[in-house]
Structure 1
Amino acid sequence: MTAMQPTETILVETSTVGCDGGGGALGHPLVYLTLERGGKVECPYCSRVYQLKEGAKVSHGH
């Protein structure tokens, strides 16, 4: 039985992030994800979690 690796959490300072799996040719297609109201979003391809850094101020809109 193989143990699953824990999900990687990446702290960010923007409300939109790009994820390509981080594996170069072994990753996945680049997708842009928007943080949800709680300040987190999970990549549907690789399950990485992007979380807004504590104290980061993000503007939503122009």
Structure 2
Amino acid sequence: MQPLEIIYVDDATVGCDGGGGALGHPLVYLPLGAKGEVDCPYCSRRYVLSEEGRRHAHAAGH
């Protein structure tokens, strides 16, 4: 199944609330993990670590 939306981020942990205000979902924090991506279990948005985020993680030794 394809994700509904792909969002590129610079941090290894993201907070997702569905983006719909009152129509969204509870705020959850999701670690991107070793693959550098994660799907939200509520809304199926996919968060992907950007190239900038990968450079920061590499420089920090992660």
Shorter chain as denominator, the TM-score bin is 0.7 to 0.9
Q: Say whether the 8 Å CA contact 1:15–1:60 is kept in structure 2.
A: no
Residue in 2 that maps onto 1:47: 44
| Mapped pair 1:16 → 2:13 | yes
Deviation at 1:6, TM superposition (A): 5.5
Matched pairs, number: 57
**Residues in 1 aligned to 2:42 and 2:61: alpha-carbon distance in whole angstroms:** 25
**Residues in 1 aligned to 2:37 and 2:3: alpha-carbon distance in whole angstroms:** 17
Q: 1:53 to 1:21 in 2, by over 3 A?
A: same
Deviation at 1:60, TM superposition (A): 7.1
- Structure 1 gap segments, 5+ residues each: none
**Residues in 1 aligned to 2:40 and 2:61: alpha-carbon distance in whole angstroms:** 20
Note the aligned Cα RMSD (angstroms). 2.1
What is the aligned-residue identity percentage?
61
